[in-house]
Amino acid sequence: MPAIPPVAPRRPHELTAHDHTRRDDWYWLRDRDDPDVIAYLEAENRYADEVLAPARELEDRLYADILSRVRETDAGPPSRHGPWWYYSRTEEGLQYPVMCRRPDAGRSMRAADVAAEARAGRPADEEVVLDENLLGAGRDYLAVGVFDVSPDQRLLAYAVDVDGSEEYTLRFRDLAAGADLPDVIERVYYGSACGASGESFFYVKPDDAMRPWQVWCHKLGAGPADDRLVFQEDDEHFFVGLALSRSRSRIVIHSSSKTSSEAHWVDAADPDCRVEVIIRRQPGIEYDAEHDGQDWLIRTNRPGPDGSPAANFALYRLVGGDWEEVVAHRRDVKLEGVDAFAGFVAVAERSARDGLERLRIIDGPDQHVIEQPEPVYSLLAGQNPDWDQPTYRFGYTSLVTPPTSVDYRVATRARERVWTQLVGGGYDPSRYRTERIWAKAADGARVPVSILCRNDQRDVSPPGVLYGYGAYEMSSDPTFSVSTINLVERGMVFAIAHVRGGGELGRAWYEAGRMANKPNTFGDFIAAAEELVSGGWVRPDGLVARGASAGGLLVGAVVNTRPDLFRAAVAEVPFVDVVTTMSDVTLPLTVTEWEEWGDPLHDPEAYRTMLAYSPYDNVRAAPCSPALFVTAGLYDPNVGFWEPAKWVAKLRAVGAGSPDRPVVLRTEMGAGHLGLSGRYDAWRDEARIQAFILTQFPGQD
């Protein structure tokens, strides 16, 4: 007998704005303290378990396949910080990494040798800096949000979140003694910096709506009540970030909205913590500042010397009050980031023509781009904590190439592979192929789509998964995943739609998918899906849409618009109740997010635009709706757990969900936006989702 889904009672609630009234029958589900809400979420979890029970054997096999490809006991790539090498290691059966270090006072050890020795076993001189497994013992969730070693390498500042709320508790550890100091600071956020003496520590605190807005200075040994407020951002559109410059002489405070920014600095050796502004904020002008040891390097979209726009950013050196151009603005290249070192500058770029990332090295008057070995790839951030180093560390990967850490020696332009993720289970990259194709959107825009499949799949038209995000100018780059291989090995195609709203093709690509242009994001995804089918990559009845958070909004919107295109969909912590959430200023992110999505509370046009695509407000009956796997986190500060819960309740009310195309909701009752934190738990969750997908395509398991 088929499992019977729970029914959330209707409790009508009216929401009125701009002379328009909406009725929300499930508004009551937002109250986490209501026992009826918890009971409903638990009932949904039980229903999901019943629906997924027949696929448990398949889930177990998928989970075992992931484990077979993972080297469970391993060590990560080492990075030099002063006279020490720092790296993480994992142990079979343990959920979390162990952070370690080895001494190298003479700086004679090569990174590749340190990596190989750590992988071979625990070196005799290895020290444990922080064992996250001890911190997470007996807990369902653990995340470390601050990990900051003092300049003299004596102390570690670390902050821990134990429920996914992203509220962290900050502590300080004496690394020689391996014991925590009595100093404890509650409710801190991401971002940190150590003062030059090692006796003062700067941290960020959020306001009641979880907006990071203050920077405080703590003196070790003093009580939190004696901490000094260094900086406060009163404009609710701005978030505050904090970091120590690599030169270790400046503490930089960035205050940024979605459309403008401002940076301040504090001398790391100044006991009075005097704050100086670098450039006053101006509407529409964004910048960030990197200290090159003497001057500020400014990456900015401010108009050029001739007044021409610089949407893709340019790089300047600020000398006194003068702006010296280092890298000019280019219409076809987005300048994404800058790292300054004693002897060179590394610049991250992205082509607005093909979306590929590049690294440019500025060595005195000379500039050159580091060549990469594959036509479609992704570059990953590398650890480069030292100021005076001859190499630049970066990561490299593609859909078929496991992550690799590379040290690039600037003087000789030689690259050395330091570390590569080891992949077991008989993985052979030559059995797979990756391509970049282009779909045509309704308005003529060319949308890049990255594809991974088996070599023997091109003429078969198998089922496939299409992933998308498309928000905040974030790029969904093609990276390797041991879990994705599960689906591809079973004959499925995996594709990424690089839709507008992301940053893949420069600032213009982002602008074309935000605010009033947001519907372009959904149209691009539909165009990518249609191209996969018409091009013979995927069979017509074989597509699965997948996305998380803002990508979950994307999934919800396209499922409403074109349910016929998708056999199934996976929406993880989906942002689906757009208008209601963006009208509630008591929620985290709302005011700041108005510059991303629009302000439906005060702007009637924004209200109408958002209402037209909001997945929750546009649920309607469909002749054959896709099977749906939806997730939520009870303590999620970014997307309230009630959004997916309300959406599922409303979908069921219009007839979605059937024994062969079920709608299931799983809420993690002890986690937040990122789900369960342990690696084994995450792999198990992924295996469960993959089993759900594969059951929609008998014969693919």
Q: What is the 3-state secondary structure (H, E, C) of 467-530?
A: EECCCCCCCCCCCCCCCHHHHHHCCCEEEEECCECECCCCHHHHHCCCHHHCHHHHHHHHHHHH
pLDDT at 205: 97
Q: What is the mean pLDDT of residues 498-515?
A: 97
pLDDT at 514: 97
215 close to 233: Cβ distance less than 8 angstroms: no
Q: Is the pLDDT of residue 460 over 80?
A: no
pLDDT at 351: 93
Q: Is the pLDDT of residue 458 over 70?
A: no
241 close to 254: Cβ distance less than 8 angstroms: yes
State the pLDDT confidence band at 139, using cuts at 50, 70 and 90: very high
- Interval 601-653: pLDDT, tens: 999 999 999 999 999 999 998 888 999 999 999 998 899 999 999 999 999 99
pLDDT at 700: 72
Q: How many CA atoms lie within 13 A of 337 on its CB side?
A: 9
- Interval 319-378: pLDDT, tens: 988 999 999 999 999 999 999 999 999 999 999 999 999 999 999 999 999 999 888 899
State the pLDDT confidence band at 39, using cuts at 50, 70 and 90: very high
Measured CA to CA, the distance from residue 3 to residue 14 in angstroms comes to: 33
- Interval 294-324: pLDDT, tens: 999 999 999 988 889 999 999 999 998 899 9
pLDDT at 459: 64
Residues known to be catalytic: 549, 636, 673
pLDDT at 373: 87
pLDDT at 374: 85
Fold exhibited by the domain 37-68+426-577+615-695: Rossmann fold (3.40.50)
Query: Which of 437-446, 663-672, 685-694 has the weakest average pLDDT?
Result: 663-672
Q: How many CA atoms lie within 13 A of 26 on its CB side?
A: 23
- Interval 423-447: pLDDT, tens: 999 999 999 999 999 999 999 999 9
Domain residue spans in the chain? 37-68+426-577+615-695
Q: Is the pTM of this model over 0.85?
A: yes
DSSP letter for 391, please: E
Q: Mean pLDDT over all residues of the chain?
A: 95
| DSSP code string of 421-432 | --B-TT--GGGE
pLDDT at 376: 85
Strand ranges for 200-312 from DSSP E: 200-206, 212-219, 228-232, 239-244, 250-256, 261-267, 275-279, 287-291, 296-300
Q: Kind and range of the H or E element at 690?
A: helix 679-695
Q: Is the pLDDT of residue 100 over 80?
A: yes
* pLDDT over 90 percentage in the chain: 90
pLDDT at 393: 97
